[in-house]
Structure 1
Amino acid sequence: MPVNPEAVARAGDRWIWIPDGAELVESDELLFVRYPWYRTPWQLQRMTTTRPVETVLDEGLARLREADPDATAVTAWVKLGAPEGLDEALLARGAAYDETVDVLGLDLREGLPDLEPGPAEVRPVASAADVGAARRIDLAAFGSAPHDAGADADARSARENAESCAAGRGGGFLARLGDEAVGAGGVTIDGDTARLWGAGVLPEARGRGVYRALLAERLAYGIRHGAALALVKGRIDTSAPTLRRAGFTAVGQERSYRLPLDAAT
């Protein structure tokens, strides 16, 4: 069944991840989030305004500099609902293009698509060792990962993840080939939407169906817990083509820019 593009776009714009320990600089018109383990910790995650985009952006950057004088750069996301002209305003202030993701949706009301997953076994993250393995996979796949806070913190994260998955809220999953953890990804249940996030596979395990296995298990989890729509944001040169072949429909694109704060005016 075809997805409703407007519904997918609205769900995509509502999707803003604010993990425990994140810092916020926000107003009614924009939101900056600080993710401690990203190469550019501060990200512009929302802008909604009827005022001139340049004015709102400059005011927001000034507020960010005041809140964090040591900040050196911002990753700015231009989402589907962003005001017209935000790309141009960022480039005019010295930003450099970073990446593009497709916003994709899949109707789950007719059940799980035939994904032909590989032999990987996929289970929720349930131990401190699992948390460490997922962190290593994130680092290899994306170049960034949550900070290693120690065995006690990893054990606590694992317990919380297992409880969240059991309660139907979602969480992180790990894929194994034999005894080796080779892939990781997550799903969050938001009402009737299953948000898929962070799927990555170790380079040496790619081409063996691990990504499809992760996708199939997370979609099945969403269906079991009442999701009618699966939502994912996939990089156009990596996961997005696989997701399209799996039956997802792209409804638009989001772009990110890296903006050095000493260049912005």
Structure 2
Amino acid sequence: MDEEQTIRAIEAIQWDYEEALVPESIHYIQNDDLVMIKNEKSTSVYANKVVRYHRTIHEVKDVIAYFEGSPLSWWVRSSSDSSELEKQLLTLGFQYYDTYRGLAKKLTEEAPISEFTFREVNTEEDVQAHVEVAAKIWGYDDEAIQAAVTERASYLQFPDRRGGYTIALDNNKPVGYSNYRYSKDGKVLYLNGAGVLPENRGKGIYRSLLADRLIEARKRGCELAVTQARLGTSEPILRKSGFREYTTYKQYVRE
């Protein structure tokens, strides 16, 4: 893959899902210069978003109108002329929310790190453990915990799924988790969420969890691993593990 193809693979983490799992309420617009997703049954800025925009600022209002007043997020890819788009979004009521690094790594031979145990999530108990770890890290409330358990359990029953979940164990105690998905063509691994309990950080668990997933992806024939890492979170560890920054995204939100 050349650099532009790699960047597009990074962006695809936001929309390349199994088609059979996409409900009728979700609509995709996918062109070379515009990718956006609208969910008629959600007001979440993560469900309604502009992922790629390479048009003039004169068409920004038309894109916003497509969402029919729903809250949305706009992912601005940094470039020599992106500041003009950012100014236009601010003028139209958007606020800067976060920054993400578009990271990728070409998959080569990966050295396994065997200090910890990793388990693919398959059982109800595994699902519960996966969600409990994530909940402690991110502060889920009871409603969010139940929704996450239901979502993961349902996904694991889907016969044509391209992704899954992993838990990391330290002395048989769940201390870390990860989510992953493969691209439709099977060449790209999407890393779409991972974490380690605060009290277990600094032991190399995250890097071990990452190495384990990269080894499995390479066995499956993947050529590239990609992620969008929020600034100040997993980014430093990913860089130490050989991931390279290809671009930066600024997330703007209009509630």
Alignment TM-score, normalising by the size of structure 1: 0.75
Do the aligned partners of 1:193 and 1:229 also contact (CA within 8 Å) in 2? Answer: yes
Between the aligned partners of 1:62 and 1:181, the Cα distance in structure 2 is 45
- The structural deviation recorded for 1:216 is 0.9
Does residue 188 of structure 1 match 2:190?
A: no
1:43 to 35, 45, 48: 48
Q: 1:45-79: per-residue Cα shift (whole Å, max 9, x none)? A: 434454x33x433223333236xxxx4x3222224
1:218 to 191, 196, 213: 213
- The structural deviation recorded for 1:213 is 1.8
- The structural deviation recorded for 1:257 is 1.6
Q: Would the alpha carbon gap of residues 181 and 33 (structure 1) be closer, same or farther in structure 2, given more than 3 Å must change?
A: farther
Do the aligned partners of 2:180 and 2:190 also contact (CA within 8 Å) in 1? Answer: yes
Q: Would the alpha carbon gap of residues 4 and 26 (structure 1) be closer, same or farther in structure 2, given more than 3 Å must change?
A: closer
* Letter paired with 2:169: R
1:136 to 105, 112, 132: 132
Aligned to 1:89, the other structure's residue is in SS state: helix
Q: Would the alpha carbon gap of residues 39 and 156 (structure 1) be closer, same or farther in structure 2, given more than 3 Å must change?
A: closer
Q: 1:75-112: per-residue Cα shift (whole Å, max 9, x none)? A: 2222469x84332222222222221111112121x311
Do the aligned partners of 2:132 and 2:145 also contact (CA within 8 Å) in 1? Answer: no
Do the aligned partners of 2:53 and 2:76 also contact (CA within 8 Å) in 1? Answer: no
Aligned to 2:68, the other structure's residue is in SS state: helix
Q: Superposition pairs for residues 46-125 of structure 1, below 5 Å?
A: 46-48=51-53, 50=55, 52-53=56-57, 55-65=58-68, 71=70, 73-79=71-77, 84=82, 85-108=84-107, 110-112=108-110, 114=111, 117=113, 119-125=115-121
Do the aligned partners of 2:189 and 2:225 also contact (CA within 8 Å) in 1? Answer: yes
Do the aligned partners of 1:123 and 1:174 also contact (CA within 8 Å) in 2? Answer: yes
Do the aligned partners of 2:78 and 2:250 also contact (CA within 8 Å) in 1? Answer: no
2:228 to 233, 248, 251: 233
- The structural deviation recorded for 1:41 is 4.8
Do the aligned partners of 2:167 and 2:178 also contact (CA within 8 Å) in 1? Answer: yes
- The structural deviation recorded for 1:135 is 2.5
Q: Which runs of 5+ in 1 are unaligned?
A: 261-265
Identity score, percent: 25
Aligned to 1:148, the other structure's residue is in SS state: helix
Aligned to 1:177: 170
Q: How many residues align?
A: 243
Between the aligned partners of 1:259 and 1:9, the Cα distance in structure 2 is 25
Aligned to 1:127: 123
Between the aligned partners of 1:147 and 1:246, the Cα distance in structure 2 is 31
Aligned to 1:263: none
1:31 to 30, 36, 39: 36
Between the aligned partners of 1:151 and 1:249, the Cα distance in structure 2 is 33
2:250 to 250, 255, 260: 255
Q: Which runs of 5+ in 2 are unaligned?
A: none
- The structural deviation recorded for 1:173 is 1.1
Q: 1:16-47: per-residue Cα shift (whole Å, max 9, x none)? A: 23574664345464423449899645431434
Do the aligned partners of 1:13 and 1:79 also contact (CA within 8 Å) in 2? Answer: no
Between the aligned partners of 2:43 and 2:205, the Cα distance in structure 1 is 25
Do the aligned partners of 1:118 and 1:208 also contact (CA within 8 Å) in 2? Answer: no
Between the aligned partners of 1:139 and 1:33, the Cα distance in structure 2 is 27
Q: Would the alpha carbon gap of residues 132 and 89 (structure 1) be closer, same or farther in structure 2, given more than 3 Å must change?
A: farther
Q: 1:110-156: per-residue Cα shift (whole Å, max 9, x none)? A: 311x47x4733112111122223322333343456966259777644
